[in-house]
Structure 1
Amino acid sequence: MDQASVVKSLAALAQPIRLEVFRALVVAGPRGMTPSTMAEGLGISASSLSFHLKELANAGLITQERSSRNLIYRAAFDHMNALLGYLTENCCQGAGCTADSAAANCRC
Structure 2
Amino acid sequence: MNTTQTIQALRALAHDHRLAAYRELVQAGPAGMAVGELRDQLDLPPATLTAHLNQLRAAGLVTDEREGRVIRIRADYDRMNGLIGFLTKNCCGGKSCAPAAGKKLR
Asked if 1:17 is matched to 2:2, the reply is no
Extract unaligned runs of 5+ from structure 2.
none
Q: TM-score, normalised by structure 2?
A: 0.89
The secondary structure found in structure 2 opposite 1:66 is: strand
Query: Contact 1:62 / 1:76 at 8 angstroms: preserved in 2?
Result: yes
Superposition RMSD on alpha carbons, in Å?
A: 1.8
Using the alignment, how far apart are the partners of 1:34 and 1:47 within structure 2? Answer: 15
Q: 1:34: how far off? A: 1.1
Using the alignment, how far apart are the partners of 2:85 and 2:99 within structure 1? Answer: 17
Match of 1:43 in 2: 43
Using the alignment, how far apart are the partners of 2:3 and 2:41 within structure 1? Answer: 33
Using the alignment, how far apart are the partners of 1:105 and 1:73 within structure 2? Answer: 39
- How many residues were matched structurally? 102
Q: Which one has the largest radius of gyration?
A: 2
Residue type of the partner of 2:67? S
Residue type of the partner of 2:3? Q
Residue type of the partner of 1:37? E
Match of 2:30 in 1: 30
Using the alignment, how far apart are the partners of 2:53 and 2:7 within structure 1? Answer: 18
Match of 1:71 in 2: 71
Using the alignment, how far apart are the partners of 1:89 and 1:49 within structure 2? Answer: 33
Match of 2:62 in 1: 62
Query: Contact 1:92 / 1:105 at 8 angstroms: preserved in 2?
Result: no
Using the alignment, how far apart are the partners of 2:48 and 2:4 within structure 1? Answer: 26
Using the alignment, how far apart are the partners of 1:105 and 1:90 within structure 2? Answer: 17
Extract unaligned runs of 5+ from structure 1.
none
Identity of aligned residues (%): 40
The secondary structure found in structure 2 opposite 1:44 is: coil
Q: TM-score, normalised by structure 1?
A: 0.87
